[in-house]
């Protein structure tokens, strides 16, 4: 509880009353992708892992597997591809994203503040947070640990770091 108050105090000192939210971070991230918006993070369950990996490389993050109904079906992370496709000897071009994804990941509302986002990431060991509208279930996009860290430091968007992320 003391750590929570300390972190909240530091964030309030840095940002005042306007503590950034997951939605704020997501909007900034999507703007940095050249207007690709949320679609930059989405693949269909039947899309190949190879196609998903191309999107992952372009967006420099994981991708969300979204069904035809627009709802979150799963998440495909940079760890899923080597562990669930490459190591077992599956062909990434022939393996659907649905076979390699982590199904039904937790999704978070856009009004989740950065302190709570950090708590979720820490407590559940998440590197990525899918963001969805809680009223409709519409998937809005994805933020990752670097997005949250950069936003919490008041420096805005992550510049992508090294070429290999």
Cα angle value 50/52/56 (rounded, 5°):
115
Give which of 40, 30, 107 is closest to 72, Cα–Cα.
107
Number of structural domains found in the chain: 1
* Token pair listed for 126: 């998440």
User: Does some domain include residue 39?
Assistant: yes
Place of tokens 């420099």: 60
- Is residue 113 helix, strand or coil? strand
Task: Mark out the alpha helices in 16-144 (DSSP H runs).
Answer: 22-32, 49-59, 80-81, 97-100, 114-124
Give the domain extent around 110: 2-152
H/E element, 9: helix 2-15
Distances (CA, A) of 37 to 30, 40, 70: 5, 6, 15
Give the CATH number of the domain where residue 101 resides: 3.10.580.10
141 strand-pairing partners: 131
User: Does some domain include residue 104?
Assistant: yes
User: Does some domain include residue 163?
Assistant: no
The pLDDT assigned to 18 comes to 73
- Is residue 66 helix, strand or coil? strand
pLDDT tens track, the chain, 165 positions: 566 666 666 666 665 667 899 999 999 888 776 655 666 678 999 999 999 999 888 877 888 888 878 788 999 998 999 999 999 999 999 999 999 999 999 999 999 999 899 999 999 999 999 999 999 888 888 898 998 988 887 655 445 544 444
DSSP class of 16? T
User: Does some domain include residue 160?
Assistant: no
User: Does some domain include residue 162?
Assistant: no
The pLDDT assigned to 134 comes to 92
User: Does some domain include residue 24?
Assistant: yes
């Amino acid at each position: 509880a003391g750590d929570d108050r300390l972190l909240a105090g530091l964030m309030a000192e840095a940002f005042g009353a306007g503590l950034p939210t997951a939605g704020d971070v997501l909007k900034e991230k999507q703007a940095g992708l050249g207007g690709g918006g949320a679609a930059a993070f989405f693949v269909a369950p039947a899309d190949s892992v190879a196609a998903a990996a191309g999107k992952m490389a372009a967006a420099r993050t994981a991708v969300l597997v979204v069904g035809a109904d627009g709802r979150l079906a799963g998440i495909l992370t940079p760890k899923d591809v080597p562990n669930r496709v490459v190591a077992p000897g599956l062909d990434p071009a022939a393996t659907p994203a649905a076979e390699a994804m982590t199904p039904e990941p937790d999704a978070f509302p856009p009004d989740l503040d950065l302190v709570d986002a950090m708590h979720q990431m820490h407590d559940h060991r998440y590197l990525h947070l899918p963001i969805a509208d809680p009223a409709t279930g519409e998937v809005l996009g994805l933020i990752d640990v670097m997005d949250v860290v950069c936003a919490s430091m008041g420096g805005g968007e992550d510049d992508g770091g090294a070429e290999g992320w």
